[in-house]
């Protein structure tokens, strides 16, 4: 179909998180035509999550029909280890999946062609194509929330390694440190994730907190316990980012995820500490993500549009995305 014939075409974009799902209809100009959020029923088990995904895709398809829009394809991104090539959720601790052929399953249930992706890589794609990393070739995109994950982009291409790359949250920054859920000790996540910061504040102060965003407010108010937890996280992030810089020399590091919404309260100390750790290395710019919590959903839509435009009916989503981003 030519692009001119397609003013009534759209794709369904869905970002499945550990606690919530963000869905949208995206037109050819990548603008959202409708948005929908629902909780992820993670506690109800892995099958319930697949049912919930099927339901939200169905609701979005009805919304499209009501607007007279043709749905070309659904793009669905999920957390954990994901193989885009095999169209499989290889492993997701939060959602309880292991070796789940999710794309094929959703195609059978919804009747739509489905492109499966990884939530953080999709968010990184969106930031590279539409957000803070537009035009950059060598990029590290870091999503900091309950956990920490990253996308490594080298020469304009995301590093996938069959879905195993980018586990920045499990780089050891405090050898022999706190036990991590992964089984290791002193992983970056145990110090610098939003949840780790909130926990550290409570342990130091004996006070409860609504979360890392609240700790960030207390940092600005001069709370010494908040400052100590925050500085330790900034130190740990700078240590991990210095290692990435030494190995891969990104020109740009983009901090995203919920914690990055603290803005300069996070970016300024991380930037200073990173600069102090570098000697001969090329110094990356460190900036805040632009697309906020919609990056993953937008990335899901970009992938679906890519496959709509490039995949043939015969080989579906298997081709075309092993190399560069979705363009």
The single-letter DSSP state of residue 79 is S
CA separation (Å) from 22 to 26, 77, 193? 13, 10, 21
Output 3 or 155, the one with its CB closest to a copy of itself.
155
Task: Give the closest residue to 54 by CA, choosing from 83, 82, 74, 81.
Answer: 74
Q: Which of 171, 237, 298, 303 binds a copy of itself (CB under 8 A)?
A: 171
Q: How far apart are CA 96 and CA 45, in angstroms?
A: 7
Task: Give the closest residue to 184 by CA, choosing from 172, 196, 192.
Answer: 172
Q: Does 161 bind a copy of itself (CB under 8 A)?
A: yes
Contact segment (CB under 8 A) with a copy of itself among 8-16, 50-58, 276-284, 293-301 equals 276-284
Q: How far apart are CA 262 and CA 253, in angstroms?
A: 16
Task: Give the closest residue to 98 by CA, choosing from 83, 110, 111.
Answer: 83
Q: Does 275 bind a copy of itself (CB under 8 A)?
A: no
Q: Does 170 bind a copy of itself (CB under 8 A)?
A: yes
Beta carbons of 284 and 246 less than 8 angstroms apart: no
Contact segment (CB under 8 A) with a copy of itself among 52-60, 67-75, 154-162, 253-261 equals 154-162
Q: How far apart are CA 261 and CA 277, in angstroms?
A: 24
Output 43 or 161, the one with its CB closest to a copy of itself.
161
Interface with a copy of itself in residues 209-268 (CB under 8 A):
239, 242-244, 246-251
Contact segment (CB under 8 A) with a copy of itself among 175-183, 190-198, 203-211, 252-260 equals 175-183
Residues that bind a copy of itself in the complex, under the rule CB under 8 A? 91, 138, 150, 152, 154-155, 157, 159-162, 164-168, 170-172, 175, 180, 182-184, 239, 242-244, 246-251, 277, 279-282, 322-323
């Amino acid at each position: 179909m030519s692009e001119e014939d397609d003013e009534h075409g759209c794709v369904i974009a869905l970002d499945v998180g550990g606690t919530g799902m963000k869905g949208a209809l995206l037109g050819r100009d990548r603008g959202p035509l409708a948005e929908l959020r629902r909780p992820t029923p993670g506690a109800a088990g892995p099958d319930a999550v697949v049912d919930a995904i099927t339901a939200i895709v169905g609701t979005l398809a009805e919304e499209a029909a009501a607007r007279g829009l043709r749905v070309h394809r659904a793009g669905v991104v999920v957390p954990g280890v994901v193989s885009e090539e095999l169209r499989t959720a290889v492993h997701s601790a939060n959602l309880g999946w292991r070796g789940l052929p999710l794309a094929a399953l959703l195609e059978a249930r919804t009747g739509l062609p489905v492109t499966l992706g990884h939530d953080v890589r999709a968010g990184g794609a969106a930031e590279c194509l539409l957000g803070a990393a537009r035009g950059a070739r060598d990029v590290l995109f870091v999503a900091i929330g309950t956990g920490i994950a990253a996308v490594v982009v080298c020469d304009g291409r995301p590093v996938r390694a069959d879905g195993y790359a980018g586990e920045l949250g499990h780089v050891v920054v405090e050898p022999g440190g706190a036990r991590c859920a992964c089984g290791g000790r002193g992983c970056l996540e145990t110090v610098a994730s939003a949840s780790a910061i909130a926990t550290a504040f409570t342990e130091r102060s004996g006070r409860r907190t609504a979360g890392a965003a609240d700790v960030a407010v207390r940092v600005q108010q001069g709370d010494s316990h908040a400052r100590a937890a925050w500085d330790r996280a900034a130190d740990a992030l700078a240590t991990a980012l210095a290692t990435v810089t030494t190995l891969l020399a990104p020109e740009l590091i983009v901090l995203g995820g919920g914690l990055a919404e603290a803005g300069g309260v996070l970016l300024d100390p991380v930037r200073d500490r990173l600069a102090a750790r570098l000697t001969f290395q090329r110094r990356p710019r460190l900036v805040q993500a632009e697309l906020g919590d919609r990056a993953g959903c937008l990335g899901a839509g970009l992938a679906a549009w890519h496959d709509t435009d490039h995949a043939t009916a015969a080989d579906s989503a298997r081709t075309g995305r092993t190399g560069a981003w979705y363009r």
